[in-house]
Amino acid sequence: MVQYRKFNQSISLKERFHRAIPGGSHTYAKGDDQYPEQYAPYIARGKGCRVWDIDGNEFVEYGMGLRAVSLGHAFDPIIEAAHQQMLKGINFSRPALLELQTAEAFLQLVPGAEMVKFAKNGSDCTTAAIKLARAVTGKTKVAICGDHPFFSVDDWFIGATAINAGIPQSTKDLTVKFRFNDIASVQQLFDEHAGEIACVIMEPEKYEPLDLEFVQALQSLCKKNNALFILDEMITGFRWHNGGAQTLYNIQPDLSTFGKAMGNGFAVAALAGKREYMELGGLYHDKERVFLLSTTHGAEGHALAAAIAVMDFYQKEDVIGHLNIQGERLRAGLEKAISTYALEGHIGVHGHPACLVFSTKDQDKNPSQPFRTLFMQECIKRGIIAPNIVNSYSHKDADTDFTIQAMSDAMAVYRKALDEGIDHYLEGRSVQPVYRKWNHEHRNKA
Ligand SMILES: Cc1ncc(COP(=O)(O)O)c(C=O)c1O
């Protein structure tokens, strides 16, 4: 039965959020513009795969803290490890033994990496990788995969998006883009910017499967052109394989970056890589020194304790297997519902089972933000928060089946909206992409 939830408290707090916080959220991906207008709950707490909002509504959640929570919210073994560490102190004037233990546990799990340095944010690690590549090669340009949506909050990446105010043109000019699985587009960059590209950075996999021949050819091109190959495993690490996608696919990047699920929500990220490059940030060499990742909170005790507990849990329990099984169960159920409502070509389920996304298209099968909004609206009404359908170890059969039923009912409404017109069903304005120059669409045309 449809439970039309009430959002009075959330709606009444919206203005206060926006008065205190630019964008009403500390992360754009969580912002109001990403959610249906009347269905944008503020969260009170979470446990496992469920969250409760400030109106007392209960939801099965997907996305899991921007993919950072792979085991579940407030997951006992992890919070217990973090708590125990907090009782012993979390930040000292000299390294804690815990820093070595976490580094060694990580290096054991990710055999391709010879050294590792921790930070709080993934962006700090990808930016450090870029700097290290520039220092190693003496070159300045960065080739990024243009099909991958996010690498860093820093200027070298945000300068290449539509929301690039405040970033000098000289910085923007240093970032160039190639296409995923398209070796000709990489070759073209090396030709057009001969002798200028310091590194190539990409995620191992996103919506379409990685072509292993592509990545081999890419690495050869990097070697030939004296550029470093950086694999950004922020999402794939701790979702594709215990040792990251690089272990699953036997890829040896020069540098790789991890974060997100590594701490099951605690802030911990990593720059890992080959010793010959990483040790330029060290104390015992004769080369020019590189200021490599040095932050006050980089080795915060309870986050490292959480990371060790996460790595431990992954080795004791088949977390990766579980994410895959539940993801495939969800995909199969949703595809059946898509077929039931003849929505092929209008709603799609894409990607790796541990990191599924859905797409929404209109009557003409063109990508549609209003239809995305409608689908999210109908899911939220039925107790599902799903900016995507990225799951966790806490999503069990019953949760997945509840989701399939709720989303199937949401699809029934989607079908009617296609047949009768979306205006009859969409209750507020549409969601919008994060990367846009103006808040309101009409400014684009001005
Ligand atoms: C692939 C990828 N790289 C890097 C980052 C940046 O990580 P953080 O938000 O921790 O700075 C993200 C964050 O969404 C990401 O998805």
Query: 254-292: per-residue pLDDT in tens?
Result: 999 999 999 999 999 999 999 999 999 999 999 999 999
Q: Where are the domains of the chain?
A: 8-61+318-445, 76-316
Flag whether pLDDT at 341 surpasses 70.
yes
Please report the pLDDT score of residue 119 as a whole number: 98
Q: Render pLDDT for 4-31 as a digit per residue (tens, 0 to 9).
A: 789 999 999 999 999 999 999 999 999 9
Q: Residue 36 above 80 pLDDT?
A: yes
How far is the centre of ligand 1, averaged over its atoms, from the C-alpha of 150 (Å)? 6
Give the pLDDT of residue 445: 46
Q: Whose CA is nearest to atom 8 of ligand 1?
A: 122
| pLDDT, average across residues 372-398 | 98
**Digit-coded pLDDT (tens) for 419-435:** 999 999 999 999 999 99
Q: Is 65 in the pocket of ligand 1 (CB under 6 A)?
A: no
DSSP lists the bridge partners of residue 389 as: 356
Single-letter residue type at 359: S
CA–centroid distance, residue 188 to ligand 1 (Å)? 27
CATH topology (fold) of 76-316: Aspartate Aminotransferase; domain 2 (3.40.640)
**Residue 446 pLDDT class (50, 70, 90 cuts):** very low
Our answer on whether the CB atom of 85 is closer than 6 Å to any ligand 1 atom is no
Output the residue whose Cα is nearest ligand 1's atom 9: 122
| Residue of the CA atom closest to atom 2 of ligand 1 | 151
Query: What is the residue with the minimal CA distance to atom 4 of ligand 1?
Result: 151
- By most ligand atoms within 8 Å of CB, the mutation choice from 64, 121, 130, 150 for ligand 1 is 150
Residue with the smallest CA separation from ligand 1 atom 7 is 122
**Model confidence, pTM:** 0.96
Average pLDDT over residues 214-230: 98
Same fold, 8-61+318-445 and 76-316: no
Topology classification of domain 8-61+318-445:
Aspartate Aminotransferase, domain 1 (3.90.1150)
Is a pLDDT exceeding 70 seen at residue 135?
yes
Return the amino acid letter for 109.
L
Q: Quote the ligand 1 centre to 234 CA distance (angstroms).
A: 6
Q: Report whether residue 263 contacts ligand 1, using a CB cutoff of 6 Å.
A: no
Per-residue model confidence (pLDDT) at position 440? 81
Å from CA of 357 to ligand 1 middle? 17
pLDDT value at residue 59: 98
pLDDT for residue 2 is more than 90: no
pLDDT computed for residue 444 by the predictor: 47
110 Cα to the center of ligand 1, angstroms:
19
- Is any atom of ligand 1 closer than 6 Å to the C-beta of 247? no
Average pLDDT value for the chain: 96
Q: Is pLDDT above 80 for 349?
A: yes
Ligand 1 geometric centre to CA of 60 (Å): 24
Q: 300 CB under 6 A from ligand 1? A: no
When pLDDT is averaged across residues 78-82 and rounded to a whole number, the result is 98
Distance 245 CA to ligand 1 centre (A): 16
